[in-house]
Amino acid sequence: FDKHFINFGEVHYDQIAVAEIELFNEGRIPLDYCTMSAGDGSKPQPGELTVTPVEMGQVPPFSSRKLIIRYNPGVPAKFDKLFKVQVAHFEPDVIQVVGEGVFPRIKLDLPRYGDQDGFYA
């Protein structure tokens, strides 16, 4: 893998964050892989992590395969999720996904001008 840690940073709580990781095969034989502990590849529900391509696949020799990770926080809070990818017969690799769901807000400090009667416009 090109990385084992994905930091989405601040994500609007109702938006879907997307990242990619790449699985490389530098050998002469195809490698089978399967994703574990992740949802299906459809649109993620709030609080759910999804990975596409779904479940199983194969990486041809001397090539790579991209896995797309999607996460919808659902609530304005920090998140820390894990999922595993098992390549061939090796121990599963753990991929950590972190970030923070935020609620967009704005704070303005505008000047107020009163008229003769003390009313503000």
Averaged pLDDT in 10-residue chunks for the chain of 121 residues:
91 91 92 77 77 84 92 91 90 93 79 70 55
CB of 8 closer than 8 Å to CB of 97: yes
The overall pTM is greater than 0.85: no
In this predicted structure, what is the pLDDT of residue 47?
A: 85
Amino acid letter for position 49: L
Euclidean distance between CA atoms 55 and 100, whole angstroms: 26
| Residue partners of 11: CB distance under 8 A and separation at least 6 | 17, 71, 73, 99, 100, 101, 102
Name the pairing type of β-strands 63-71 and 17-25: antiparallel
| Residue partners of 18: CB distance under 8 A and separation at least 6 | 68, 69, 70
